[in-house]
Structure 1
Amino acid sequence: MAVALHGWHPGEVAIQRHLGFADAVSDSWPIVARSMPDQHRLFHTSNLNFIPVTAIDKHGRPWASIMAGPGGEIGFVTSPSRQTLSIVASLWDGDPILETVAAWMKDSGIYETDNHLIAGLGIEFSTRRRNKFAGRIDDIHPLGTRIFDLKSINCPKYINVRKLVPFAHARPKIIYQVEHLQPSQRLPQDLVDFILNADTIFVGSIYKSQKSTASQFPSHAGMNARGGLPGFLRVSPSDGRTIVLPDYSGNRFVSSLGNIEATGLVGFTIVSFTTGDVLYMTGTAKNIIGQEALKIMKKHAAITVMQVSGFTFVKDALPLRQQAGTSVERSPYSPKVKYLVEESGEGSSENADYKAVLDSAVQLSENLAVFKFKVPPHKGSKRLEIRPGQAVVLDFMDWIGPPKYQHMSNAKPSLINDDRIRTWTVSSAHEDGEASWFELTMRELKNGAVTGALFDILRQSNTQYGTPITPRKPVVAEVVGITGDFYLRQNNVNALWVAGGIGITPFLSMLSALSTRNRSGGCDSITLALATKEPALMVDLLRPLLAHLASDIRIVIDIFTHVNGFQLPEDITQRESQRLFIHHGRIPAEYWIKTAENKNVLICGPGGFGDSATEGLQAAGVSLERIQREGFY
């Protein structure tokens, strides 16, 4: 059989051009090899408990099948030659490869059609290692696979690491099996939930050659894996059968997308590694790029949309399970989950019409500043409401532009797929209805794309700390949404606020809100425990807020710092209802016993700080029900 070593096939070229990759990968097709190196043969025969493979049904539709060794043990694959893999697989009712096997046996092996194309992906989840192969089934006594090409360069960066072990007690049972889904039918809701909880999907595809180009680009199958955070796959709520798979930055070969571009067909299979349940789906598919994609998936400009035409769901099928007591190590490259425009919640923010325009900025220290944004009114938009302590989600893509392409960035994985969307806690208070402006007290992150660009405005102005500046050029961001349930309630406050460094931000907003509230009866009592490396700066932030607090609001502020010799400024007001104390060192364990009794606790700060505070509070007898932690923005 001819080998596709004469260039990328027309579908691959088309999608590479759509994505702007064509020139970058035009000469990369020689990585497709005619045979397997010995290390790849050893990998498939000695490392793998299962192999996802692409099977073609009698209707020419690709499915992602699962081949596993008996009992889930390693060693079910052998390699008689550098071009052959022999697989002794444990198959179960409902797996699509059974149809291929049955057709072969019926026709005594003379069934030489595209239905006997096969492709597989050797994937080792514990190491993120993976290698692809593709070819034809040569025999089924046992099943043999003749390799005609091997794609040895792959992109493992979105694989979620997990430890899988054999599970010999699987009892497969078909729950759903629909060969042809009718146009009015939806996927059952339990399968929709299954899809939305997935963090891994196996993608089966096929390229069908034309007679005129068959010698140059022979028909072949493809198999790939895609990973992300749970929820990265979305299902259309309106029809319950359209699945949207976001395309993440990879090696730019886009072979699976190229096959889809050429045939409009795809197979998706999802496996639960905790229960062994397997969902097989096949259907029509389309790659959508640019503005048309943004109309479907919020903030993601490259997607594959599948219309399910058939599916099978088998419970307790995979003879492997995630090892008890182990956790999944999420890929640091996986971007945040994006939602469909038609979905409720984050995916279709009610605030998407609002723009935030930078009005002024004040630099407080080398890496801390306050940025004030104005929000121009927008006809038809709902009111922009921000509760004290909530955060705003801003999209700076139009201002900064997309990141330069990188395949890998081990030093900072977040650079890959950076959508320029950031979340900050709002430090100003807005309790009088619509917010026409807001302030962000922001710390610059080392090599931060967005904070770096904002702080560059301050550096270019060359003004002294504390002096407001206005930007020379417009800085405009889209308001994606307002988020967070960590906010000041309307009832009387009896709370312990715990802040680590810039984690003071939501409490600045809450103090500002308390100073403007119309209060009737009751007494607010607050203790603020603040751990900081910048005590003088924090006191300066607190000073004007304390000055405006009503005298019947009782507040104690304990500042913990390692800065030697720091003393409170002599001119700071010390009312009877307000007390500030400086403590040297960390917050001690006994502090929680003295301060947390009968108080609701709010914690905001870096993860390690929040963990330590939570553990100390629990040791002091504070139940988790009384502790609320904020995501650290």
Structure 2
Amino acid sequence: METNTLGWHLGEVSAHKLLKVATSNRRNPTQQGLSYSHGYRVSESPIVALGTLDQEGNIWTTLWGGEKGFARPVAKNVLALQSLLSVKGDPFLGALLELDENNGNNSLEGGGVIKPAGEGKMMSGLSVDLETRDRVKLAGRVLVASLDNNNSGESERAVREMQLAMVIDEGLGNCPKYMNRKEIHAHVPNPTVIGMKGGVKLTSQALGLIEQADMMFLSTTNGKTMDTNHRGGPAGFIRVLRNQDGEVILVYPEYSGNQLYQSIGNLQVDNRIGVVIPDFETSDVLYLTGETELLVGLKAAAVMPHAKVVVKIKVKEARFVKDGLPFRGVSLDRSPYNPPVRRLASEGLPGVVVGDDEGDGPVAIATLVKRHVLSPTIARYTFKLRNEKGRPIPAWKPAQYVTLDFGGELDQGWSHMREDDPQSLNDDFVRTFTVSNCLPEEMEEVTGEETELEITVRRHGPTTGFLWDYKFQVPLELPVLGFGGEDSFRIPTATGGGRSVFVAGGVGITPLLAQAPGLIKADADFILLWSLRSEDLGVVVDSLQRIPGLAQRTRLFVTGVEAENAIEKVNCLGTQGTFQRRLLQQDVLAVKEGQNGTKYYLCASPAMQTILEGWLQGEDFVSESFGY
């Protein structure tokens, strides 16, 4: 039985400290050499990701394979790989050829053997069997590589066969948590290469591949060894923060893993990274190399709300290869551990306004002081705000959001796998809620402990269930990570600029609640179309009674078995109309008759919002979903 004799390097220790993992309580499970079990698992895997550095020090990652057995042990601690590849498209090949460049052995026209000098150049690998969700990490050195002879007479033959022998110094079996299952089969590529050097912005093809990708592979180094690993999630988990000439930045969240933090540990001492993003259906592939920045806590949430650890990649060079991979894959099923896509603050989700210069503390502490139940599933919660360090709190604007951290109350601690409740491992319990009350317009910051903040939310999930059931025996204090929200969803108060129509579905009324008093005071031309079920009518009564003048601008559409009785309760409130039926397209379009410059503001469930957007094709509208 093999035993581990490897310790933790300084980068890993630094990562453990940063992310509050007790290094001393855990042993590094990485094994020396290539064990029998690891060798067998590699030979059963149809693809292997490989990483190395080119002569300029850039890290590149590639994907080889297509069928089981293309990679296999051939001697003690030696792994052999044989695969088709795109000669001009695969940057890993270019990195290998540069090994012998001083001897002139960098031509692609012939074949030949590449023998690195000394002990061999660093490289790493990750074998992946996506059907069984099995993977093995490998680290070592290039022993020898060869490119097949070009006997076809075509000096620019696009696809050639590559053979490589790798000495394995370290191996580690990895967990299957974020593997999206796929059936892999071999494919002969017909590559077309599009290079993007020097920070040139990504093409539409590259952006499309990133948007649909549910998997990527990355390689890092600590200067002595390399590490290749996998990152998976829902399609679109990789986000494009910036894409312009001279500056291309990608962002992805780090999910709950095995807490070894080997990749992040490498990035702590060397921020270089190489990434490959495959399209399994088309065999298109995007290769990237660049530098990283690790964001933790509030700094992560400022870029990507709901994420506590984020990796930013500043792309130095990119290469998109159409039909460049020697395999294709058919999706089978997604990992049950995948969280929802975590979008960027710049994509219209609430950002974070950090109160501390160093970003190491919450903007404020929110103490729950009151709960007012409005319907069987909706309640209004009132909090008082304070700042622990006595600093002013940034004031929120109408229709903005507050970001609250429930982690201290609900986080059950780290767990590697949890088959009975896989989604719980990805929940950091950071939530955003529309603020229901407004502040005086002239306020730029909030001071004093008497400032109140209200949210009106439906009970759905662990955090809202926690608020609903809280007993108040002990004060509930939640960190406020910040306020955010786009100005585009704020209705203008100026008159004469056209009519504004707010269309709400159920609790989608919340962005209007803080805006309505100011709109009514300014006599702005706006109408509310509110569709909801009869059991939620208590929210209507509460809202119309608390905001004088809102009823006269409201048309209600009520459904449900108690709709008739419920309507009788609101008829005395003075609405423009209350209808016992669903909202229809003609209801939405009728309010613009005779009005120039009508703009619609839509806030509803994703399903209803899709319907509304279909009705309003060609009209001026903005959308805000409460499905986050």
Deviations 1:215-251 (A, max 9, x none): xxxxx532113356555576799x9599877643211
CA-CA distance at 1:117 after TM superposition? 3.9
Asked whether the equivalents of residues 393 and 483 of structure 1 are also in contact (C-alpha less than 8 Å), the reply is no
Asked whether the equivalents of residues 338 and 426 of structure 2 are also in contact (C-alpha less than 8 Å), the reply is no
Q: Which residue of 1 aligns with 2:521?
A: 517
Asked whether the equivalents of residues 163 and 322 of structure 1 are also in contact (C-alpha less than 8 Å), the reply is yes
Asked whether the equivalents of residues 353 and 483 of structure 2 are also in contact (C-alpha less than 8 Å), the reply is yes
Q: Which residue of 2 aligns with 1:556?
A: 555
Q: Which residue of 2 aligns with 1:85?
A: 80
Matched AA of 2:137: K
CA-CA distance at 1:34 after TM superposition? 0.9
Q: Distance between the aligned counterparts of 1:595 and 1:339, measured in 2?
A: 30
Asked whether the equivalents of residues 426 and 438 of structure 1 are also in contact (C-alpha less than 8 Å), the reply is yes
Helix, strand or coil at the partner of 2:555: strand
2:199 paired with 1:187: yes
Helix, strand or coil at the partner of 2:565: coil
CA-CA distance at 1:90 after TM superposition? 1.6
CA-CA distance at 1:632 after TM superposition? 0.8
2:566 paired with 1:580: no
| Greater strand share, structure number | 2
Q: Distance between the aligned counterparts of 1:114 and 1:385, measured in 2?
A: 60
Asked whether the equivalents of residues 288 and 304 of structure 1 are also in contact (C-alpha less than 8 Å), the reply is yes
Seq. identity, %: 15
For 1:205-220, what aligned pairs fall within 5 Å after superposition?
A: 205-206=220-221, 220=225
For 1:164-203, what aligned pairs fall within 5 Å after superposition?
A: 166=187, 168-172=189-193, 174-176=195-197, 187-190=199-202, 201-203=216-218
Helix, strand or coil at the partner of 1:538: helix
Helix, strand or coil at the partner of 1:152: strand
Q: Which residue of 2 aligns with 1:22?
A: 23
Q: Distance between the aligned counterparts of 1:28 and 1:65, measured in 2?
A: 24
CA-CA distance at 1:440 after TM superposition? 1.0
Asked whether the equivalents of residues 271 and 277 of structure 1 are also in contact (C-alpha less than 8 Å), the reply is yes
Q: Distance between the aligned counterparts of 2:530 and 2:298, measured in 1?
A: 48
Structure 1 residues 415, 383: CA separation in 2 closer, same or farther (over 3 Å shift)? same
Matched AA of 1:593: Q
Structure 1 residues 556, 140: CA separation in 2 closer, same or farther (over 3 Å shift)? closer
Q: Which residue of 1 aligns with 2:414?
A: 405
Asked whether the equivalents of residues 202 and 248 of structure 2 are also in contact (C-alpha less than 8 Å), the reply is no
Question: What's the TM-score, normalizing by structure 1?
Answer: 0.70
Asked whether the equivalents of residues 534 and 563 of structure 2 are also in contact (C-alpha less than 8 Å), the reply is no
Q: Distance between the aligned counterparts of 1:201 and 1:447, measured in 2?
A: 30
RMSD: 5.2
Structure 1 residues 88, 418: CA separation in 2 closer, same or farther (over 3 Å shift)? closer
Asked whether the equivalents of residues 12 and 259 of structure 1 are also in contact (C-alpha less than 8 Å), the reply is yes
Q: Which residue of 2 aligns with 1:361?
A: 370
Q: Which residue of 2 aligns with 1:396?
A: 405
Q: Distance between the aligned counterparts of 2:558 and 2:301, measured in 1?
A: 47
For 1:175-574, what aligned pairs fall within 5 Å after superposition?
A: 175-176=196-197, 187-190=199-202, 201-206=216-221, 220-227=225-232, 229=236, 232=239, 247-260=254-267, 264=270, 266-271=272-277, 273=279, 276=284, 278-281=286-289, 312-316=317-321, 319-320=324-325, 332-333=338-339, 336-337=342-343, 349=353, 355=364, 357-358=366-367, 360-364=369-373, 365=375, 367-374=377-384, 384-387=395-398, 390-396=399-405, 400=409, 404-408=413-417, 415-430=424-439, 432-434=441-443, 437-448=452-463, 451-457=464-470, 459-460=471-472, 472=475, 475=478, 477-483=480-486, 485-490=488-493, 491=495, 497-514=502-519, 516-519=520-523, 526=527, 528-532=529-533, 534-545=535-546, 548-549=548-549, 553-563=552-562, 566-569=565-568, 573=572
Asked whether the equivalents of residues 141 and 168 of structure 2 are also in contact (C-alpha less than 8 Å), the reply is yes
Structure 1 residues 295, 114: CA separation in 2 closer, same or farther (over 3 Å shift)? farther
Q: Distance between the aligned counterparts of 1:579 and 1:290, measured in 2?
A: 48
Unaligned runs of 5+ in 1: 177-185, 210-219, 462-470
How many residue pairs align between the two structures? 567
Asked whether the equivalents of residues 350 and 432 of structure 2 are also in contact (C-alpha less than 8 Å), the reply is no
Q: Distance between the aligned counterparts of 1:611 and 1:290, measured in 2?
A: 34
Unaligned runs of 5+ in 2: 106-112, 147-162, 357-361, 447-451, 593-598
Asked whether the equivalents of residues 356 and 373 of structure 1 are also in contact (C-alpha less than 8 Å), the reply is no
Q: Distance between the aligned counterparts of 1:116 and 1:403, measured in 2?
A: 44
* Correspondent of 2:125 among 117, 120, 126: 120
Q: Distance between the aligned counterparts of 2:601 and 2:319, measured in 1?
A: 45
Helix, strand or coil at the partner of 1:90: strand
Helix, strand or coil at the partner of 2:539: helix
